[in-house]
Structure 1
Amino acid sequence: MTAAAAYSTYTQNNIQIESPEKLIEMLYEGIIRFCSLAKKSIELGDIEKRVYWTNRAVAVFIELINSLDAKKGGEVAIYLEGLYNQQIKFLNESNLENSTEKIDIVLHVTRELLEAWREVTGK
C-alpha cells in the first residue's frame, strides 16, 4: 500500500468516527482554509490555483447545502441554504473578477458561522 493510499484510508476512517457536529466544524474550517489560499493565489497572480481553491470552497458549500434538512431545521435550514448560495455567488464573482474583496466577505461570514457553531455545540 502506498503512503497516499494509506493516508486516504486513514482520513476516511477518521471522518467516519467524527460526530456530525465536528464534521460541520471541519467543513467551515475547510472553507476558511480554501478561501485563504484562493485569496493568496489572487495576490500572487496564480490563476490556476485561484480557480482550484475557489472550486474547493464552493464544493464544501454545496456539501453543506446538501446536508440541510428543512423538515428538521425549519427556518434556520432555509436561511442557511440562502446564505450558503450567496457565498457561492460571491466566490464565483471573485473568481471571475480576480478580486479578493468578495473572498473577504465569504471569509468573514464563514468565521462568524464557525464561531456561532462552536457556541451552539459547546466546543
Structure 2
Amino acid sequence: MVQQHYQAYKNNSVNTASPAELTLMLYNGCLKFIKHAKKGIENKDIQMKNTNIQKAQNIISELMVTLDQDAPIAKDMMPLYDYINRRLIDANVKNDLTILMEAYGLVEQFRDTWKEVVKKTRMQEYSESARA
C-alpha cells in the first residue's frame, strides 16, 4: 500500500514538474545509477554494473537529444555530455571505478549548477508574481 502511494507521488512529481525540474530529476537519476554501478563494480556484480551504467548513459543521451541547440551554451555542453558518455563506456568495459567516479563528478557539477539555475528562476518568478 505504501509503495503504491509512493509510486503515485513520484508519477505526480514528474507529471507536474517544469522542464527545468525534469532536467534536475534526470541529473539526480544519472547520479543514482552511477552510484549503483559503483556498488556493482565493488561487489563484482557485472550485471548490476552494466545495467546501471547503461541507465546512466540513457539519461546522458536524453540530455543530449533535448539540449536546445540554439542556446549559446549548447556548443559547450554537447562535447561534455559526449565525453561523459564515453567515460561511462570506458568504465563499463574496464570495470574502472576511477573513470566511473570521474563521470560522476562531471554529472554532479552539472546537477549542482542546474540546481542553482532552477533556484534563481523560481526566485525571479516569485518576485515577479509578487509585484503583479
- Aligned equivalent of 2:92: 95
State the partner residue of 1:38.
37
TM-score by length of 1: 0.86
* Pairing 1:77–2:64 present: no
Task: Indicate the residue corresponding to 2:15 in structure 1.
Answer: 16
Q: How far apart are 1:115 and its partner, in Å?
A: 1.1
RMSD: 2.0
Number of the residue aligned with 1:104: 101
- The answer to whether the aligner puts 1:49 opposite 2:76 as a matched pair is no
Q: CA-to-partner distance for each residue in 1:2-39, whole Å, 9 max, x for gaps?
A: x9998766644431211111111111111110001101
The aligned amino acid for 1:88 is N
Counterpart Cα distance in 2 of 1:122 and 1:6: 28
Q: Give yes or no for the alignment of 1:61 onto 2:35.
A: no
Match for 2:57: what amino acid?
V
Moved more, 39-48 or 8-17: 8-17
Percent of aligned positions that are identical: 28
1 CA distance for matches of 2:60 and 2:4? 26
Q: 1:122 to 1:4 in 2, by over 3 A?
A: closer
Between the aligned partners of 1:7 and 1:52, the Cα distance in structure 2 is 24
Counterpart of 2:116 (choices 109, 116, 119) is 119
Is the partner of 1:122 in helix, strand or coil?
helix
- Name structure 1 gaps, 5 residues minimum: none
Q: Distance in 1 between matches of 2:110 and 2:16?
A: 23
Deviation track 1:67-112 (CA, whole Å, cap 9, x = no partner) reads 11112xx331121111111101000000000111111111111111
- Across the two proteins, how many residue pairs are aligned to each other? 120
